[in-house]
Structure formats: C-alpha cells, structure tokens
Structure 1
Amino acid sequence: MIEWVRRGVARSYERLLRREIGDGPTHVAIIQDGNRRYARQQGGDAPDGHRAGAETTSAVLEWCEELGIEELTLYAFSTENFDRPEEELEPLFDLVESKLYEFADADRVHDSEVCIRAIGAVDLLPDRVQEAVRYAESRTEGYDRFRLNVALAYGGRKELLGAARDVCRAVGEGNLSADAVDVDLVDARLYDRPVRDVDLIIRTGGDERTSNFLPWHANGNEAAVYFCAPYWPEFSKVDFLRAVRTYESREDSWRQAKAKRAVAMVRALGETELAEGRALVGRLREQLTSAGMREVTAELETQERETAD
C-alpha cells in the first residue's frame, strides 16, 4: 500500500515538473556515476551495478525523445577507467559490446532515427568492442533526428591535446595558415562529425565535478550543470526533469542578467551611436526573454527621444 502511494505521488510530481518545463535543452551530457557503489549497496559486484545502470540508460533515451532533446552524450568509459582491475574491466567491456549491438538492432532506435556514434580513443579498446562500435555506427549512420554519442576511452584533455597537435602539425607543414585557426576548425579536428555545444551536464552519484568531460563543448558553452545524489541505476525520470528545470531556470536568469547589461549599454549611447544601438537590439532578439527585449527596446526609444529633443 505504501509503495503504491509512493508511485502515485511520483507520477503526480512528474506531471507537475513536465508542466513547468518549456523547450528544454538541445544537447544533454550525462556522467553516469555510482554503478559500483550501487552494486556494493545491494550486496553485489561491480558488473551487477553496470548492468543495472544500462537499464537506466535505455530509459533516459525515451525521456529525451519525450522532451524533444536532439542530442545525448553518455560518459560510458573514461581513459582513467583502464586502471580498474581486470576482473571488473572484462565484464564492463562485455556489457558495452552487447549494448551497442542491442541498440543498433533495436526497432525503436530505427523508428526514432537515432544516429549512434562513439567519441574518444576507441582504438584503445578491445577489438571486439571496436567492432561493436563500427557495427552500431554503420547501422545508424544515415539517421539525424536524434544523436546518441557514447564517450568511450574518453578524456577531455587528451582530446584537446590531440586537436592542438593536429593544428600545429598542419601549420608547420604549410597546409594551414595560423590566421585560419578558428572555432569551426578546432571542432572539425575533435570529431569526425560535429557535436553540438552542450547545454546541460548531469552527474549522478553525489560528486560535484565534471571530471574532464567535454571541456570544449560544455565548459566553452558555459553549460548548466546539475549534480544529484542518486546512483546511476537509481536515477529516475523525476531527477531528469529536475535537471532540465534547473537548466531552464539558469537560462532565464542568464537572459535577465544580459538584458540588464544591454539596458546599461543603451543608456550609455551617444547620439552618433544610436544606430549601433538598434543593431545591438537586433542581435539580442533571440537571446533575451520577451520582457527583457521590451525593456531594452523601451530604453533605446527613450534615448532616441531625448536625443531628438
């Protein structure tokens, strides 16, 4: 009876959170932490926790589809994870391999046109895992409605270092001008195919750090970060919706702060700068809330009237 009431309350809270969420983020990245601690808590071994976590991963894909999220990146295996004991690594590689094949053949993946790809030093993984990666990528390479990036043998610093060396090599060989190095060029050297900037990072398991995860696309984009206590196998839809709500609250706050800065800039404009002010308002149109946009526009009109007088 108590469990039935608890589930009913959870469903009601889910509906409440869903009503509070608007468009939501485009790209969510998740650090799936706590599988091993969950297993110990349940009296099992690390592989048991990883298998339980894989079920949560499947559920998150469905939640992303419900909310219209277009890209999801999962931190499945870091370069530091190679230091784990062999008796833990082999079952983990087994699970990654089997899940890649399972996702690649799942009807819902093809119905939803999910493009699966791995990011990271995949060549460091066992051959059987590399083959599973190639299979999943080839089976879904024609899709682009939803992108699922699986970070395997991934390390953010290693990734940036590789891109920097690639750029330096190209400049040194005379194949690239130093003046031509820009954001798009670095993007192209990070991955074979582009990855969107990350809007929201979620980390489960209680730790409050981003662990060298997607520094270019997340930290560079000032992504919102949501830390929560549940271990990854315990991560629920309510937790996910709370994370999305946190992202939207941050975006609203950021836009309000930007509107205040824009108003201050408009107030400082002189007569010859009012045309530039109009251009500024045009550029901000998609970045501010409606209220913020009205405030900036009203201030600009006031400045124009005072200048005319």
Structure 2
Amino acid sequence: MKRWLRQCADAAYERLLSREITGAPTHVAVIQDGNRRYARQRGGDAHEGHRAGAQTAEHILEWCQDIGVEELTLYTFSTENFDRPEEENEALFDLLCDKLREFGDAERVHENEVCIRAIGETEMLPERVQDAVAYAERRTRGYDRFVLNIALAYGGRSRLLDAARGVAEGVADGDLDPDEIDVEDIEDRLYDQPVRDVDLIIRPGGEERTSNFLPWHANGNEAAVFFCTPYWPEFSKTDFLRGIRTYEHREESWRRTRARRALALLGAVSEPELAEARSIVDRFRDSLPSAERPEVDEIDASELETGDSGSQAAD
C-alpha cells in the first residue's frame, strides 16, 4: 500500500511539474554519476550499474525531445576513468559498442532525426569502440533536428589546452594576428563540429561539482546547475523536470538582473550607450515585478533627460 501511495504521489508531482514548465533550455549536459554505487548498494558489480545507467540515458533522450531541448551531452567516460580496473573498463567498452550500434540503427533515432556525435580524445579508446562511434556518427550524420553528444575519453581542461596550443600554432605560422583572436578562434579548435553553449548541467549521485565538464560552453554561458541525490540509474522524469525548473528560475533571475541594471543605467550612461541600455530594458521589462516596470514614456523621458544633460555639458 505504501509503495502504491508513493507511486501515485510521484505521478501527481510529475504532472504538476510538467504543467509548470513554460520553456526549455536549448542544451542540457548530464554527468552520469552513481552507476557503480548503485550496483554496490544492490550487491552487484559495476557492469550492472553501467547497464542500468544506459537505460536512464535512453529515457532522458526522450524527455529532452518531449519538452523541446535541441542538444543533449552525456558525460560517459572521462580520461581519468582509464585508471579504473581493466576488467571494469572492458565491460563498459563492450556496453558502449552495443549501445552505439543500437542507437545507430534505432528507429526512434532516425524518426526524430538525432545526430549522434562523440566528443573527447576518442583515439585513446579501443579500436572496437572507435569503430562503433564511427558507425553511429555515419548513420546519423545527415540529421540536425536533435544533437546527442557522447563525451568519451573526455577532459575539459585538456580540450582547452589543445585549443590554446592550436591558437599559438596559428600565430606562429602567421595565420592568426594576436590582436584579432576572438571567441570563434577558440571554439573552432575545441571540436570538429560546433557545440552550443550549455544552459543546464545536471548531476545526480549526491556530488556537488561539475568535474571539469564542458568548461568553455558552460562556465562562459553561466549555465544553471542542478544537483540531486538519486544515483543515475534511479534518476526519474520528476528529477529531470526539477532540473528544468531550476534552469527556468535561473533564467528568470538573470533576466530580472539585466533589466534592473539597464534601467539603473538609463539615467547615468553617455548618449552612445543609451540605445543599448534602452534596448535591454525593452527586451526584459516584462521579467520585472509589476511595481518595478517602467512605463514606455518613462523610458523616453530618461532618454531625453540624459540627452539634455549631455548637451548642457557640451555647452
């Protein structure tokens, strides 16, 4: 009876969260943590935990598509994971081969036009895994409705280091002017194909750290982060929706802050900056509480006052 009541309560909460979700992040990144601890808790080996976690990965792909997420990145195997016992990694590599080929052939993948890509130092992986990666990428290369990135042999700092070396080589070869290096020059050297900025990082398993995951695309975008206690194989749709709600609250707070700052600047900025500040207020005005929202004529008046004071100073 208690289990039935809990299931009913969980289902009701999931429906409530679904109704509260009003927008979806474009790119969600997930650290699949807790597979081994989940298995140990049940008296099994690590492979059983990884296999259970693979089922959750399939579910979150569906949940993302259901609410309109366009890109999902799964942190699956880090460069540090090579230090784990060989028999554990070999079993995981076999599982990766099976799942990559299964995804490459899956009807739902092709129906939803999912483009599968691997990011990381894949050349460090066994040849059979590299072959499976190539198979999944080749089978889904023409799709662009949804992108599934699988981070394999991945290390965020090492990717940034490689990109920095690439830029240094470009400068040394005369292909890049140091004074003209921009964001695109770094991004072009991070991955063969573009990766969107990360809007939300999800980490189950009870740890509260992002573990060097997509530092350029997440930190630079000030991504929202959702930590929760269930191990990855136990991660539910309710947990996922709670993560999406965290993103929405973070986005709403960000919009309010931008609007307030721009509003405060309206009476203090110089004339060239005024148009940008007013544009920000216009864009984010509705995110402010009603009592703080300026009327359009108030914004116009602020512009006139700033313009007048500027003219007097010039006189």
Shared fold, TM over 0.5: yes
- Using the alignment, how far apart are the partners of 2:249 and 2:18 within structure 1? 14
CA deviations on 1:162-216 (whole Å, 9 max, x unpaired) are 0111111111011222233211121111111100000000001000000010000
Tell me how far 1:87 sits from its aligned partner: 1.4
Give the one of 276, 286, 290 matched to 1:290.
Answer: 286
CA deviations on 1:249-283 (whole Å, 9 max, x unpaired) are 0111111111111111012246xx2x642343225
- Using the alignment, how far apart are the partners of 2:136 and 2:47 within structure 1? 22
In 2, are the aligned partners of 1:262 and 1:296 still within 8 Å (CA)? no
What amino acid maps onto 2:169 in structure 1? R
- Summarize the Cα distance change of 1:95–1:291 in structure 2 as closer, same or farther, 3 Å threshold: closer
- Using the alignment, how far apart are the partners of 1:296 and 1:96 within structure 2? 57
- Using the alignment, how far apart are the partners of 1:56 and 1:299 within structure 2? 52
Of all paired residues, the percent bearing the same amino acid is 62
- Equivalent residue for 2:275? 278
- Equivalent residue for 1:159? 159
- Equivalent residue for 1:241? 241
What amino acid maps onto 1:19 in structure 2? R
- Equivalent residue for 1:262? 262
Task: State which drifts further: 153-162 or 277-286.
Answer: 277-286
Matched, 1:114 2:108: no
- Summarize the Cα distance change of 1:279–1:111 in structure 2 as closer, same or farther, 3 Å threshold: same
- Equivalent residue for 2:312? none
- Using the alignment, how far apart are the partners of 1:169 and 1:91 within structure 2? 39
Tell me how far 1:14 sits from its aligned partner: 0.9
In 2, are the aligned partners of 1:263 and 1:299 still within 8 Å (CA)? no
- Using the alignment, how far apart are the partners of 1:278 and 1:70 within structure 2? 33
| Long gaps (5+) in structure 1 | none
Tell me how far 1:301 sits from its aligned partner: 2.3
- Summarize the Cα distance change of 1:259–1:115 in structure 2 as closer, same or farther, 3 Å threshold: same
Matched, 1:170 2:141: no
- Equivalent residue for 2:301? 302
CA deviations on 1:15-44 (whole Å, 9 max, x unpaired) are 111111111210000000000000000110
- Summarize the Cα distance change of 1:190–1:291 in structure 2 as closer, same or farther, 3 Å threshold: closer
Secondary structure (helix, strand or coil) at the match of 2:266 reads helix
- 1:41-52 equivalences in 2 (<5 Å): 41-52=41-52
- Equivalent residue for 1:231? 231
Secondary structure (helix, strand or coil) at the match of 1:175 reads coil
- Summarize the Cα distance change of 1:246–1:174 in structure 2 as closer, same or farther, 3 Å threshold: same
| Long gaps (5+) in structure 2 | 310-315
What amino acid maps onto 1:45 in structure 2? D
Q: Scaled by the length of structure 2, what TM-score is found?
A: 0.92
- Using the alignment, how far apart are the partners of 2:304 and 2:253 within structure 1? 30
What amino acid maps onto 2:68 in structure 1? G
- Equivalent residue for 1:14? 14
Tell me how far 1:305 sits from its aligned partner: 5.7
- Using the alignment, how far apart are the partners of 1:137 and 1:296 within structure 2? 52
- Summarize the Cα distance change of 1:297–1:268 in structure 2 as closer, same or farther, 3 Å threshold: farther
Say how many residue pairs are matched: 305
- Equivalent residue for 1:124? 124
- Equivalent residue for 2:100? 100
In 1, are the aligned partners of 2:31 and 2:204 still within 8 Å (CA)? yes
- Equivalent residue for 2:219? 219
